[in-house]
Structure 1
C-alpha cells in the first residue's frame, strides 16, 4: 500500500457547525463501521470528516492555529466515537498525538502547520532501529510495527534507538507518507479497523530537524504542552475501552433484557443473576470512569496554573488510566456473559465491543506492569518500567 498526500481539510468553525460535523461523523460511522472492519482500516475520507469535527487540531498549539482541547474534553469525544466503534475511536484518538510535535524545533513546527493545523499523524515506533548518522540527519532503513491509522495519515513517524545524547530515550523521526511503503500485515481479531500495519523505509534521509526525543521537554509552552505527554498517550487508548464497555452495558439494558430465552424460559431481565450482573457492571464502569476523569482534571488544573506535576500525581494518572482499561475489559466480558449463547455469533452486536474492548489492556502502556510501577513510585522506590511515569 503506497500512501499519497491529498489536499488538507480544515475543521468547521467552533460552535454549532463543528458540533454538527461531529454528529454527522457519528452517523456515517454507524453506517460504515462494518465496512471499516472488513477492509481493515479507517479510510482517508472518514478521517476528513473527523478533521471537520475538530479532532485533528485538538493538540495543535494555539501559536500555529490549533484549538487545543482540555484533555477530558477530548477524551469524552473519543469515548463517544468508541461507543459506536472502538476501533475508529482508537484511530481518532491520535488527534492527540501532535502534543509530541511540541518537542520539535519551532521552525519545523511552523513548517508542518503552514497549510493548516488539522494534521493526522500515525507512528510505527517499534522496534527501534539504529539509523545511519549522516551530515544533517539520518538515513533510515527498516520495518516498523503497529502504525495505527496510517491509511489516513498526513505524517508518519518511526522509532529510532537513542544513545548517550538522549539518555537512552527513543527518537521519533517524521517522514512524508510518500517516502514510505505501508505493508499490510494487520490480521487480528480485535481493533481490526485501526489498520495498524507496518511502515517500511528504504534508505530514506530524515533531517535532524524532523526528529525529537519522545517524552522530551516541549519547545512550546502552553497549558496543553505541560500536560504529561506519555500519560496522555496511554489515556487516549484506554478511553476506547470506556466506549466499548458503555455500549456493551447499554445493549444488555435496552435490547437483551427484553428478549426471552431461546429455551422458552423467562426474560433474562427477570432473573436475579441478570439484575445483579448488570448492576455490578454499572458500578465498576462508573467508578473506574470517575477515577479516570477526576485525575485527568486534577492534573489539567496544575497544567493550567503552570504548577509542578510531581511523580506521585503522574503515577496516579497512569494508575487511573490502566485501571479503566482493565475494568472496562472485565465489564465487556461480564456483558458478554449476560447476553447468553446468542452472543457467540460473529454477527452479534456485542462481538464488536467484545473483540475491540479486550485490546486496550493488552497495550504495552496499559498492561499489568503499570500497577507494579505505580506502587513503586508511591512507596518512594524506582519503578522497573522505563520512562515511567
Structure 2
C-alpha cells in the first residue's frame, strides 16, 4: 500500500485545542494500542493528543514559543507512555528531535514555527542518497528507510551527503509531507506501530537553508541546545526500552502471583527460581535506570551552570543509554524464559513486549559498538565510532 502526498514547501503544525491530562491520554492509549499495532502506525489524531501534552514543544526554543523541558523530565514522560505502549513511546520520543533544528538559520526556524511551537518531525535519514548541488541548494531524489512516526509528521527529513563545510557529516534535508511519498512496507515483530515506513522523494530542489547537520552548531543560545544532541537522541530511545521492561515486570509479577500451570505444578510465585528471577530483574532494571537518570540530571546541571559538557560526560551518557537498552531487553527475555509455555503464543503480552524491548538495543545509537567507543573515551582515547558526539 502506498500513501501519496503532493508537492509544496516546508510548513509546521500547531497543537490541537483543549485541555487533556497525562492520565487521560494514557488511558486512551491503553484502549487504542491494538488498533495502532494492527494498522502499523500511531494515528494522526492521537499524535494531536500528544501535542496537547506539550511533547512537541518540549524541544522548541523558548524564543519561538516553545516550552523546553530538562532532558530528564522529557525522558520520564516518554518512559510513562512506553509502559502502556512502546511504539507510541517511540513515536513520542521524537518530540526531542527539534533540538536538531537549532542548527538551522534563525530565519528558517522562524518559518518552521510560524504556525505554532508544536511541530512533529520524522526522518528517514539512511541510506544517504546523492543530492547534486543546485543554485538554491540540493536536488533531492531517492528512497530512505525507518521514518518512524512519518504518518503524523508536520515536517519530514531525508539524509543527503555532506561536504567540506560539514566535516564530512551528512546533511538532513527538510521537506513538507506533500513533497514526499510514504511507502507503507513496515512489517516487523517489534515496535510494529511506529510506522517506520520508507520515504520516497522525486526531484525536489531543497534550499540550503532548509538543511542541517545533526548535532551541528546551534544558532539558538538556550540551555537545551548545549546538552549533547546525539547523546540525547540515544537517551530518548533507550528509555522506551525501560518502559517496555517495566510493563513486562508488572505483568510477570501480577500473573506470577496467581498463575498455576496446566500440569498442576505450583503457581509461579511459589517457585523459588521465579521469585529469584523477578527480584534480579527488578534490581537490574532499577539500577540501570537510576544511573541513566542520575547522569542526565548531572549533565543538565553542567549545562545550566554555563559550563561545557566534557567528553567523559558525553561518553557516560552514551554508555548509560546503551546499558539501559540492553538491560531492558535482557530483563524481558529472562521473564519469557521463566514463564513456561504461555509466552509461545503469538499474541501473549510477554511475546509482544519481547519484540518491542529488542528494538532499542538493536538501534545503531545503542548497539554493542557504544561500549567500545565509551570505553575508549573514558581511557583518554578518541571514540571508535563515528558521530559519537
Q: TM-score range by the shorter chain?
A: over 0.9
Aligned residue for 1:203? 203
Residue equivalent to 2:146: 146
Tell me which residue corresponds to 1:97.
97
Instruction: Write the distance in 1 (CA, Å) between the matches of 2:274 and 2:48.
Output: 42
* Pick aligned residue for 2:15 from 6, 10, 14: 10
CA contact (8 A) 1:79 1:89 kept: yes
Aligned to 2:57: 57
Cα deviation, 1:81-128, whole Å, max 9, x if unaligned, reads: 100110110000001010000000000000000100000000000011
Query: Equivalent residue for 2:167?
Result: 167
Partner SS, residue 127 of structure 1: coil
Instruction: Give TM-score scaled by structure 1 length.
Output: 0.96
Q: Distance in 2 between matches of 1:344 and 1:52?
A: 38
Q: Residue 337 of structure 1 aligns with which residue?
A: 337
Deviation at 1:3, TM superposition (A): 4.3
Q: Which blocks of at least 5 consecutive residues in structure 1 are unaligned?
A: none
Residue 92 of structure 2 corresponds to residue 87 of structure 1: no
- Counting only pairs closer than 5 Å after superposition, residues 14-163 of structure 1 correspond to structure 2 as 17=19, 20=21, 22-163=22-163
Aligned positions of 1:284-363 closer than 5 A: 284-363=284-363
Residue number in structure 2 paired with 1:269: 269
How far, CA to CA, are the matches of 1:257 and 1:170 in structure 2?
Answer: 52
For 1:293-322, what per-residue CA distance to the aligned partner results, in whole angstroms no more than 9, with x for missing partners?
001111111111110111011000100000
CA distance in 1 between partners of 2:179 and 2:149 (Å) = 17
Unaligned runs of 5+ in 2: none
Partner Cα separation in structure 1 for residue 17 and residue 312 of structure 2: 39
Between the aligned partners of 2:346 and 2:132, the Cα distance in structure 1 is 47
> How far 1:9 sits from its partner (Å)?
4.2
Matched, 1:382 2:373: no
| Partner secondary structure for residue 246 of structure 1 | helix
Deviations 1:147-186 (A, max 9, x none): 0000000000001111212111110110000000001121
Q: CA deviation at 1:338?
A: 2.4
C-alpha distance after superposition, 1:120-145 (max 9, x if no partner): 00000001112110112111100011
Give 1:12 deviation, angstroms: 6.5
Q: Distance in 2 between matches of 1:336 and 1:268?
A: 13
* C-alpha distance in 1 between matches for 2:100 and 2:352: 31
My pick for the range that moved more, 332-341 or 116-125, is 332-341
Aligned counterpart, 1:364: 364
Q: Distance in 1 between matches of 2:11 and 2:356?
A: 30
CA contact (8 A) 1:11 1:54 kept: no
- Contact preservation (8 Å) 2:234, 2:365: yes
The answer as to whether partners of 1:120 and 1:152 remain within 8 angstroms in 2 is: yes
How far residue 343 of structure 1 moved from its aligned partner, in angstroms, is 1.1
- Contact 1:11–1:118 (CA<8 Å) still a contact in 2? no
- Measure how far apart 1:347 and its partner are: 2.2
Report the 3-state secondary structure (helix = DSSP H, G, I; strand = E; otherwise coil) of the residue aligned with 2:4. coil
Aligned to 1:223: 223
Once residues 88 and 308 of structure 2 are traced to their aligned partners in structure 1, the CA distance between those partners, rounded to angstroms, is: 34
User: Distance in 2 between the 1:197 and 1:146 partners?
Assistant: 6
CA distance in structure 1 between the partners assigned to 2:330 and 2:80 by the alignment: 20
CA distance in 2, matches of 1:153, 1:62: 21
C-alpha deviation, 1:255, in angstroms: 2.1
- Between the aligned partners of 1:151 and 1:303, the Cα distance in structure 2 is 34
Separation (CA, whole Å) in 2 of partners of 1:8 and 1:145: 23
Does the CA contact (< 8 Å) of 1:40 and 1:195 recur in 2? yes
